[in-house]
Amino acid sequence: METPDFFELDPPAAGPAGPAAYARTAPSGGLWAAGERITWISGLILALSAFMDWYAGSGVGVKLAVIGWHSGVLGKLVFFIGLAVLALVALRELGFELPPSVPESLLILGLGALAAIFVLIRVISIPDAVLPADGRGIGIWIALIASLGVIAGGLLRAAEEL
């Protein structure tokens, strides 16, 4: 004769144990999920702004427009910072995570601040190689706004992680 089991206990499901079981969750939406979107859009615009005109001027019968890439090392660094921001976002989307000791939002904030400093240096100081430049072109202002957008995206991502 067999007695009925009143308490059917299922064995626990096999899965990862320890700290790996606590993976980051995807943002649910709303304002805080906008941080990732702002970050990759600003990173893309920052990378593309290196190929926009940063300086404009005119000489004797010649109109001059200098793109950020040709404004020196800082223009090239702005491009590569934009690519680095895009790479961070793409790697996260592909499932690669940075170690927990390196917060991604802090890295994005640092890259955005570095880009903003480089662009501000180029706003204040026109390189001698691009003279006669009468003023700044629209591309340098777009680069400045994009670098501030990367900073804002990093701040919103930091708020997501809290």
pLDDT in tens, 65-93: 888 998 889 999 999 999 999 999 999 88
- Mapped onto helix, strand or coil, the DSSP state of residue 146 is helix
**pTM for the whole thing?**
0.76
**Separation CA 23–CA 17 (nearest Å):** 11
Q: Between 5 and 46, where is the model more confident?
A: 46
* Gap between the terminal Cα atoms of the chain: 58
Q: Is the pLDDT of residue 59 over 80?
A: no
Which pLDDT band holds residue 25 (cuts at 50, 70, 90)?
A: low
Rounded CA Rg of the chain: 24
> Which parts of the chain fold into alpha helices (H)?
34-49, 73-93, 104-124, 138-161
As a whole-number percent, the residues of the chain with pLDDT over 70 amount to 78
